[in-house]
């Protein structure tokens, strides 16, 4: 079920009403209802894959219970390995089987040996990368002794399947989200109202910014040989705002929806395109995944400790694995490799923790230095996005070669003025609100309620006007 669909517009009020008015008095029933509602939400796409979520949930619940009883290290390791085998097994089979099979055949073809590839054309279950990481982090945390395992199976199943963030995050930790299922929720108007504002801004990002950028991005990337370098540059520029509006828009809708039900999800985006270096960008982009890899891969590998060679190795591992997490294509690995190359000099010079505040912290406008830093970081990100969006490595390099040709300085073949104006307004609003969790959190600035509601209705009108091109969320494929 898509957040930007009529189905969800009907589904959400029904679930909200039953949750607060029918099941409010009994916490266990309320949690059970959330499990059922979440399964309906997920099964709306394809009910056959509900079995994967149920098996993954059951395995990790039982692993947690087993870890509570087992004290011997060998038994505990076996339980953790069981969790990892099941979760990574599902992920590898459904997401990467065909990729590895085709890569194996291509590798032998180079040496003159030909095989017929054994591919299964497997349908990728929506959100499998997200919920497997979420449930796996629970088993790891229990194994490490960072949290006590739960015996409440209903709460655990609700934690794994919670529908607002089930298919595209944020990837929650059990210490934050699971614990919220143990406590009685009380409806808070101010929290729910702010959740609605965040949903509205998320829909604006998705429907107005991302979906309208997608029209031109799809055409330019598919027919790039027909266009000038300036048009190709415009294409990747629009893709940068498409993927940001699409994914951060989903996160805003997810976080806002969770607030309607009394839950607080972690922030997933913090205005990443205002970053002054790549290290800051990765602290602000897809925060839940970045911190997941940091805590469960980078730090166990040794992190930034040890020799320079060890630091370099760890940086490349975490970025390449992060790229591979996004999809079974060499383009994603190249995207991760390129980001590692960006990040490495900053880390080796020990400047990766330099920008922990926001740009222009106590000022309206950035300094010349900050403008150059933001511009450079954004440009490097654009180059990396070409590999992320391209169909193949060859496609990416051909696109780059055509983009950096003499025609880069010509007039673009396509110039969507309306979309450029919308993006400009969008950037200005987000810049003004860069201290806030979301851009419509402006009660502190606009005290007059009438004016605030006028702005909300203007945004709703813009969403309706520009909402004809419904696109699936990009990160559903991951």
Task: Report the alpha-carbon distance of residue 258 to residue 195 in Å, rounded.
Answer: 8
Taking the C-alpha atoms of residue 148 and residue 60, their distance in angstroms, rounded to an integer, is 13
At residue 305, the pLDDT reads 85
Give me the pLDDT at residue 111, please: 57
Determine the pLDDT at residue 97: 74
pLDDT in tens, the chain (478 residues): 788 888 999 999 999 999 999 999 899 999 999 999 999 999 987 788 899 999 999 999 999 999 998 889 999 999 999 999 999 998 888 887 766 666 655 555 555 556 565 555 667 788 888 999 999 999 999 999 999 999 999 999 999 999 999 988 899 999 999 999 999 999 999 999 999 999 999 999 999 999 999 999 999 999 999 999 999 999 999 999 999 999 999 999 999 999 999 999 999 999 999 999 999 999 999 999 999 999 999 999 998 888 889 999 999 999 999 999 988 889 999 999 999 999 999 998 889 889 999 999 989 999 999 999 999 999 999 999 999 999 999 999 999 999 999 999 999 999 999 999 999 999 999 999 999 999 999 887 888 889 999 999 999 999 999 886 767 787 776 6
- The pTM of the full predicted model, rounded to 2 decimals, is 0.93
Q: What pLDDT shows up at residue 214?
A: 94
Residue 336: what pLDDT? 96
Q: Which of 326, 355, 395, 438 is catalytic?
A: 326
Q: How many CB atoms lie within 10 A of CB 62?
A: 15
In angstroms, the Cα distances linking 258 to 168, 199, 202, 443, 463 are 14, 10, 13, 21, 22
CA distance 117 to 12: 44
What is the reported pLDDT for 321? Answer: 94
pLDDT score recorded for residue 246: 94
Q: In the chain, how many H helices and how many E strands? A: 19, 0
Among all chains, which residue has been given the structure tokens 């991760």? 336
Per-residue model confidence (pLDDT) at position 117: 56
Q: Which helix (H) or strand (E) holds 211?
A: helix 211-222
Three-state DSSP class for 347? helix
- In three-state secondary structure terms, 146 is coil
Model pLDDT, residue 307: 86
Helix, strand, coil percentages in the chain from 3-state DSSP, rounded to 5: 70, 0, 30
Whose CA is closest to 312, among 277, 337, 286, 278? Answer: 337
DSSP line for 78-122: HHHHHHHHHHHHHHIIIIIHHHHHHHHHHHHHHTT---------P
pLDDT for res 102: 64
**What's the residue count for the chain?**
478
CB atoms within 10 A of CB 75: 13
Please confirm, yes or no, whether 286 is among the known catalytic residues.
no
Query: How far is residue 369's CA from residue 463's CA, in Å, rounded to a whole number?
Result: 36
CB 298 within 8 A of CB 318: yes
pLDDT at 393: 96
């Amino acid at each position: 079920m898509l957040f930007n669909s009529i189905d969800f517009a009907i589904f959400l009020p029904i679930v909200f009403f039953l949750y607060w008015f029918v099941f409010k008095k009994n916490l266990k029933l309320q949690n059970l209802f959330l499990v059922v509602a979440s399964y309906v939400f997920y099964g709306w796409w394809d009910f056959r894959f509900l079995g994967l979520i149920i098996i993954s949930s059951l395995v990790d619940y039982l692993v947690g219970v087993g870890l509570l009883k087992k004290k011997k290290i060998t038994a505990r390791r076996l339980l953790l390995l069981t969790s990892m085998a099941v979760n990574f097994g599902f992920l590898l089979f459904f997401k990467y089987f065909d990729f590895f099979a085709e890569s194996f055949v291509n590798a032998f073809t180079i040496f003159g040996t030909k095989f017929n590839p054994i591919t299964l054309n497997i349908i990728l279950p929506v959100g499998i990368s997200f919920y497997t990481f979420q449930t796996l982090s629970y088993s790891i945390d229990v194994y490490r002794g960072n949290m006590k395992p739960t015996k409440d199976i209903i709460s655990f199943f609700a934690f794994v399947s919670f529908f607002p963030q089930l298919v595209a995050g944020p990837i929650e930790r059990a210490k934050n989200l699971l614990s919220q299922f143990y406590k009685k929720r009380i409806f808070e108007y101010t929290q729910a109202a702010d959740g609605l504002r965040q949903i509205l801004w998320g829909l604006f990002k998705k429907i107005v910014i991302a979906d309208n950028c997608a029209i031109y991005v799809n055409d330019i990337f598919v027919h790039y040989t027909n266009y000038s370098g300036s048009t190709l540059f415009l294409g990747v520029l629009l893709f940068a705002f498409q993927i940001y509006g699409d994914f951060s828009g989903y996160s805003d809708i997810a976080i806002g929806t969770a607030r309607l039900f009394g839950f607080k999800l972690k922030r997933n985006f913090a205005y990443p395109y205002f970053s002054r270096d790549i290290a800051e960008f990765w602290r602000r982009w897809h925060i839940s995944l970045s911190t997941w890899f940091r805590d469960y891969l980078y730090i166990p590998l040794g992190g930034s400790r040890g020799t320079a060679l060890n630091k370099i190795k760890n940086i490349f591992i975490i970025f390449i694995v992060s790229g591979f997490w996004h999809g079974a294509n060499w383009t994603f690995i190249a995207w991760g490799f390129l980001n590692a190359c960006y990040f490495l000099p900053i880390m080796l010079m020990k400047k990766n923790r330099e920008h922990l505040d926001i740009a222009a912290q106590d000022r309206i406008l950035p300094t010349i230095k900050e403008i150059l830093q933001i511009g450079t970081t954004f440009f490097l990100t654009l180059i990396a996005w070409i590999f992320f969006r391209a169909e193949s490595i060859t496609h990416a390099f051909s696109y780059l070669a055509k983009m950096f040709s003499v025609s880069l300085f010509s007039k673009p073949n396509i110039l969507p003025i309306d979309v450029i104006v919308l993006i400009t307004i969008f950037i200005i609003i987000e810049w003004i609100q860069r201290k806030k969790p979301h851009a419509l959190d402006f009660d502190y600035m606009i005290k007059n309620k009438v004016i605030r509601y006028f702005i909300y209705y203007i945004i709703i009108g813009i969403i309706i006007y520009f909402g004809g091109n419904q696109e699936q969320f990009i990160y559903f494929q991951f």
